[in-house]
Structure 1
Amino acid sequence: MKNKKITIIGVPMDLGADRRGVDMGPSAIRYASVKEKLTGLGWDVQDHGNLMVPTPESYDVGELQLKYLREITEVSKELASTIDKVVRTGRFPLILGGDHSIAIGTIAGMAKHHKRMGVIWFDAHGDLNTAETSPSGNIHGMPLAVGLGLGHPDLVNIGGFAPKIQPENVVIIGARQLDEGERVLIRERGIKVFTMHDIDRMGMGAVMEESLKIVSEGTDGVHLSLDLDGLDPHDAPGVGTPVAGGITYRESHLAMEMLAEADLLTSAEFVEVNPILDHGNRTAKAAVALIGSVFGEKVL
């Protein structure tokens, strides 16, 4: 992040989830002054605007175990291409969601530039389902699996290669609701997961120290994928799939501050802000505060 140049990309995607409203997430985060926050920290900020995303009412859901597969695939391809172009200009891509299915395109775009990319996945969920294991068929529960090369070929092969990332370079932080198929995959692939139990026992500082070692060892870049439902619903009520007992506001800031100090990140995305379910844009404001921390904001 040394070049201090950021390009914001909005992806108003809500095809990957059942609950409507998350398509307004990029606007809510912008309204919470994300550009002003970053500019105030000395960053050169360009806003690419939003990618065009189909509305669910205009399209057929398709296969129930892979809802809106065709539409999500096309948006993911466009996002991957957009990120590729941004990185080629020497700028840091900051992606605003939208539901977490946008990570399929984000990881595909970044993987073109990083042969071995580390991933820090802040989330209450694993997002490691496939069509065979998903209880809902919602693709926002599948992006990490897709990045690992598991899932429908249309998604897995975006960019022309798979897998994009390796399990030993991935860390999930804040998990507290995993489906059985995800638990099996985590054990089989040896994916490191810090559940809320681990955070309670170890403390966020120790969790981040170990996470940073994992994602930096032998890698040539690190991507941060932060789902706002990783935070406790008290601090981030405007999310589609809230789970009680999450990461506190202060723990989240510590994690972002430690990421900033490590200076490893090559891309970041903040997803699942749903203004319809929010109170006074609190969740988008929390997202912007965390963005501030990860891009260098300090108390002193």
Structure 2
Amino acid sequence: MTRILVPYHLDEHLPDLDVPFRPDATITAELPAGDTWERMAELYRHVAEAVATDVRTGTAPVVQSGDCMVSLGTVAGVQQAGVSPSVVWFDAHGDVQTLETTTSGYLGGMPIRVLTGYRPELIAEPLGLQALAEEQVLLVDARDLDPPEAEFLASSPMTRCPVDDVSEAVIPAGPLVLHVDFDVVNPDQLPGTLFPTPGGPGIDAVMAAVARVLDTGRVVALSLGCTWHPGQGTADQISPHLESALAPGR
């Protein structure tokens, strides 16, 4: 299992980002002077190449980054390797905003919409990312939704469930990209996250659910949203839980 570090938040380089796993490879890139979408597309092309190389050899890469948008590169890389994945997405937030619905303008709130075909000219087409059907996405927790997100999910065939309900019954069919944004954990147990959302499951419950997804044997890539302030020990707190979940034959 190759552990890849992408030390960025969107197109901002974060050289001090601390992550749960010591990386086997670190991806950086000379980004163009264009807009944020163009810059992310260039960065994620490198991510996709690294992921595709691993998946072709039967290795499941672990991509660690400072946001959730890097999952676009991870999924694109899996597709480049000839695998058509579904996605299991752990997050305190919905991540189904659009440029038309967001009030903050934060692009990091849009990755699931982009993955499922929203305005492909922005980044999917330059990246070579093929849209997933909404039925191919399981959204876990998402306890903090803006009204437009709640409205979208109410009419979407996308499956959503609490952490404790993650099971084979709701996990999508086929190969899986597993994405975990650690702000899904109750911030009382995991301080230092960028966008803390009160309440929510404890770290043991989250990692037990993550382990159930891994136990399917269908995870071809793991994407970790290390969405925290560097230097507060959050990565060190997460690391033993992840090591345990990923341990062979645990």
- TM-score, length-normalised on structure 1? 0.74
8 A Cα contact 1:10 1:95, kept in partner: yes
8 A Cα contact 1:240 1:272, kept in partner: no
Give the share of equivalent positions with the same residue, in percent: 23
Q: Given the alignment, which residue of 39, 43, 56 partners 1:88?
A: 56
8 A Cα contact 2:72 2:129, kept in partner: no
Distance 2:246 2:197 in 1: 27
Question: Counterpart amino acid of 1:178?
Answer: L
Q: Given the alignment, which residue of 140, 151, 154 partners 1:184?
A: 151
3-state SS of 1:176 partner: strand
Distance 1:23 1:123 in 2: 24
Q: CA deviation at 1:98?
A: 1.6
Structure with max Cα Rg:
1
Distance 2:129 2:248 in 1: 37
Higher percent of residues as helix: 1
Q: 1:234 to 1:82 in 2, by over 3 A?
A: same
Q: CA deviation at 1:53?
A: 6.6
Distance 2:222 2:26 in 1: 16
Aligned positions of 1:1-300 closer than 5 A:
6-15=1-10, 24-25=16-17, 28-29=18-19, 34-35=21-22, 47-52=24-29, 62=35, 68-113=36-81, 115-160=83-128, 162-163=130-131, 165-194=132-161, 198=162, 204=164, 207-209=165-167, 212-217=168-173, 219=174, 221-276=175-230, 279=232, 281=233, 283-296=234-247
Map Cα deviations across residues 21-50 of structure 1 (whole Å, 9 max, x no partner). Answer: 96633xx12xx5x24xxxxxxxxxx71223
Aligned length: 250
8 A Cα contact 1:117 1:222, kept in partner: yes
8 A Cα contact 1:169 1:214, kept in partner: no
- TM-score, length-normalised on structure 2? 0.87
Distance 1:235 1:113 in 2: 38
Distance 2:228 2:15 in 1: 7
Distance 1:99 1:237 in 2: 17
3-state SS of 1:215 partner: coil
Distance 1:231 1:161 in 2: 29
Question: Counterpart amino acid of 2:122?
Answer: D
Q: Which runs of 5+ in 2 are unaligned?
A: none
After superposing on structure 2, the runs of 4+ consecutive aligned residues of structure 1 that deviate more than 6 Å are none
Question: Counterpart amino acid of 2:138?
Answer: V
Map Cα deviations across residues 73-109 of structure 1 (whole Å, 9 max, x no partner). Answer: 2112221122112222332110001211111111111
Q: Which runs of 5+ in 1 are unaligned?
A: 1-5, 36-45, 63-67
8 A Cα contact 2:101 2:148, kept in partner: yes
